[in-house]
Structure 1
């Protein structure tokens, strides 16, 4: 990024829900740690070049200890002889606050916390947690850059704040310039996962050379619009499709709530702007909610797993035999999960393709229950179970697993603090918005907003009475009777792209198409009920559907499919990364006129 072309600010996003758990365990072993050590190794290679070219560096690698990382950056700068001014942002770590400092929970609280709970009760809600961090906005980053910082490291800020904070500094935006801030937040959301915006993990990857995709960059303009592109000569592709895929990633509805602004994703327009250039414009911003999300991680207990290989005939009977033989050993465990993956093929010409996999996952508060007791019982079956008995790997010791939960706290009560290069501590705004219904904005798309087609959506921080757009949770469509066309039974993915991911224990699936006719069909066809039929694992769960017509996209939130989140290993795809690809692989009746004439997968 530093050598490939012009750059004003280089950002780095190091934090995820699982990362916070890992950093929490690091801090337990050494209180001076808790930050992403890889950042320092990368910075050693590029700090001199960044300083020479006047490039500011902004990264959330501070994790749980941004002050410690700032000190380490200063020490590194002295070591390599580069005179840089270092600042950091803190205040997100609520574990460091005493009960008297913990803010009271407002009305309409987060998960598991009663309205009006005291600071003591809220602190007790994460008693025993490894981490409890509020998601801050970009105001602290802006303040540090305005004070002349060359390097800014933060703790837990929103991923998009790494772009919106520098943009507000560069253009001198105020905290109420919501449209501009919303545009920068959308650009930040596109950049936050790096090469996912340039062809990485892209549904239609076969149409492009994505062997070594380059990193994306955003040319942000004073009005908040942006062009997403990449340095010349780098691999991958930037197209409306790659940008749409990332816009849909890990979002949960038309309103993208953030600490600085609420960005209306249903107002975003994407237009080609040349080769590997996509312009993002039209984003409408609204005031932010008066609360901040708090991510809480804790050790949930201990887990272990064994994968049995079942080869050849009688796979179901072999699986049942193993279950019965281990029943006594597993009787006292808190949680037992068996999954049989029928990866076997009839009359297979290799042993591996003749084999199915039976996965056992056991969880318990005690490491002993899922440690030696389990491994001993499994090993003892080696000569006393089904024919061809073997496992993919010897059973190992019990491993701790994590749990992620979230809550809401008042934004104005979280001590969002910029520590400037000269050591001055500057408390920045709380980002509190009205939390009430927003007035109608004539720039918003007419006829979109609620299941009934009324506009506007409920205000920031207010949950809608019904899911937004398209019949939402009941799976209906606002359109009239479907057009009766000749159809072809084919994978949904011949027509539609998808990208999926995790938010705590929930998963989201974004689905999009190209062209208005395909959008009309997708909108009318892919209801909640139909999604549940295509993905039977979602059938017993709450599913919410949102429409984003300007992106020709639907976004589904599947509640609870990931249990306690990625660190709990609840599902074999613990971050739901491939849930969208499963959906694309399901066969549906598609109007023949909509299907591309090119071979499967060779889609623009």
Structure 2
């Protein structure tokens, strides 16, 4: 059986409009699209509250309308999680578009992830990070969606679907469901399924695999016009990551390594269909823009899957102040005094004052002399962070404020969605495929499961003796990539270059103590990926309640790796040269 050629067309809700058309720029068998980053749940929940007919990715529907003629011309299948909170509604909209354009593609959707009406069946539903029971949350759940595996997608394709719309499945399920259908895998083909999960993890965020969000972006060709990645998955689960020849960007071991290290919590990567062991994964350049992904192993999945619960969490407003030039500490202190006075009588659930940036010495223009001071507040009652009681008093500080104060309201009483991650038994989910005529196909999930025993023990950094060193930014000799998992941030580092000396030094330099210098008092896990020559860290709790409600300027911790790469370390001269 030939490898299945799977292109990705989206990595989040508002990925570029031309994504589907771009993914079809050359021959492919199937196009997948991932629209459901965790903060996306917030957006879809808010839209559905305003209109119960919504709750799906309207951005996808626009892409589908634009590119469906090309999809038919390419004779390709399409599998997306754009159904969000309303996959049935999006499936009907796709059928409407097809009818209007005169096409006869078969559309099916997958259900079973929505368990909002069943929460009482699942017990205490402890928080995935801190173990608190859901009863202690203090919010009324508005959505509750479990992460389904890929077998519903497989069943829909086997039933003749050309377009499959899902709700909340794991990001990798879009690809594993396709690969299992194409190759006829069974639910106990662990290694093959694990290889497909790894390939899926590389392509699921679209152009991040071809040079986007990549610490080596200055060396990426056509970095302003990145293409979307393709996974060619063989019958044994090994894969080649590539892209269309006409697309910009590049596919190299570094771009693939970056994505493998993105949003994982260690060498063991959990999926409802298989537990994936990435400890010995390797990436090898086979040719221009062709990287072989191998060495992935699989074992039976856990009996549980992740459940994401969201709830209306009040409202958030933020005001951006700017301080310029000298006496920045005194200016920030005076502003904080005013903020505390203005908010003293408000009933706030969160108040943050974040100073962003450091002015340069002897600035050449006004903007080089400026620092942003971002004031963010959340409250259950809209009036507490509204224009009258919060925004107006803060923006009115021109006269009593520090010299040079100017201000810009950024958000005014925007709705906040609280997030609660937990686990539910996979066998308790009503996983079904729904065909156009309303008939339903129950999905047979994996019969063999094994309790997850946790990640391997955290490993310490190796000691090393390096004679001649110079203090310089870590990023001069190391790439980095970070991601968010609820309130935790994961960060991976690997050498720029392939020398043994660079890997030996990196293993000694990246320690938990080094990271704890800037993130004191938090738990930090450390693992190594010898096949990738990478050090991987999980920094617990630095993203607060998670991206949907933490109020941080960098809500998803997208810049944590770049911050750490900017820190100075003692680097051997031979690596710098």
Task: Tell me the distance in 2 between the aligned counterparts of 1:174 and 1:164.
Answer: 11
**After superposition, where does 1:54-203 map in structure 2 within 5 Å?**
54-97=75-118, 99=120, 102-104=121-123, 110-111=128-129, 128-203=140-215
Task: Tell me the distance in 1 between the aligned counterparts of 2:301 and 2:63.
Answer: 34
Task: Tell me the distance in 2 between the aligned counterparts of 1:281 and 1:337.
Answer: 45
- Structure 2 counterpart SS, 1:523: helix
- Which stretch of the first structure deviates more once superposed, 155-164 or 364-373? 364-373
Contact 2:458 2:525 in 1 (8 A): no
- Structure 2 counterpart SS, 1:307: strand
Structure 1: 5+ residue stretches without partners: 437-460, 471-475, 598-604
**What's the CA shift string for 1:289-326, capped at 9, x where partnerless?**
00010012222222222222222222211222222233
Shift of 1:567: 2.1
Task: Tell me the distance in 1 between the aligned counterparts of 2:270 and 2:570.
Answer: 36
Shift of 1:68: 1.1
Task: Tell me the distance in 1 between the aligned counterparts of 2:385 and 2:513.
Answer: 38
Shift of 1:505: 1.4
Shift of 1:548: 1.0
- Give 1:489's aligned residue: 471
Contact 2:316 2:411 in 1 (8 A): no
Task: Tell me the distance in 1 between the aligned counterparts of 2:230 and 2:84.
Answer: 23
Shift of 1:338: 1.8
Residues 1:173 and 1:374: Cα distance change in structure 2 (over 3 Å): same
Residues 1:126 and 1:238: Cα distance change in structure 2 (over 3 Å): farther
Q: Do structure 1's residue 413 and structure 2's residue 395 form an aligned pair?
A: no
- Give 2:17's aligned residue: none
- Give 1:451's aligned residue: none
Shift of 1:111: 4.9
- Alpha-carbon RMSD: 2.1
Task: Tell me the distance in 2 between the aligned counterparts of 1:126 and 1:32.
Answer: 28
Contact 1:66 1:155 in 2 (8 A): yes
- Give 1:369's aligned residue: 384
- Which stretch of the first structure deviates more once superposed, 487-496 or 256-265? 487-496
Length, aligned pairs only: 550
Q: Do structure 1's residue 468 and structure 2's residue 452 form an aligned pair?
A: no
Shift of 1:396: 5.8
- Give 2:324's aligned residue: 311
Contact 1:21 1:131 in 2 (8 A): no
- Structure 2 counterpart SS, 1:149: coil
Residues 1:274 and 1:342: Cα distance change in structure 2 (over 3 Å): closer
Residues 1:395 and 1:126: Cα distance change in structure 2 (over 3 Å): closer
Contact 2:209 2:255 in 1 (8 A): yes
Contact 1:500 1:508 in 2 (8 A): yes
The structure richer in strand per residue is 2
Shift of 1:126: 9.1
- Give 2:501's aligned residue: 517
- Structure 2 counterpart SS, 1:551: coil
**What's the CA shift string for 1:88-119, capped at 9, x where partnerless?**
111001114474xx34569x9845667xx9xx
Task: Tell me the distance in 1 between the aligned counterparts of 2:119 and 2:511.
Answer: 47
Shift of 1:342: 4.7
TM-score (norm 1): 0.87
Task: Tell me the distance in 2 between the aligned counterparts of 1:221 and 1:525.
Answer: 38
- Structure 1 counterpart SS, 2:412: coil
Residues 1:113 and 1:280: Cα distance change in structure 2 (over 3 Å): same
Task: Tell me the distance in 1 between the aligned counterparts of 2:137 and 2:415.
Answer: 21
Task: Tell me the distance in 1 between the aligned counterparts of 2:23 and 2:322.
Answer: 48
- Structure 1 counterpart SS, 2:175: helix
Q: Do structure 1's residue 300 and structure 2's residue 281 form an aligned pair?
A: no
Task: Tell me the distance in 1 between the aligned counterparts of 2:395 and 2:71.
Answer: 56
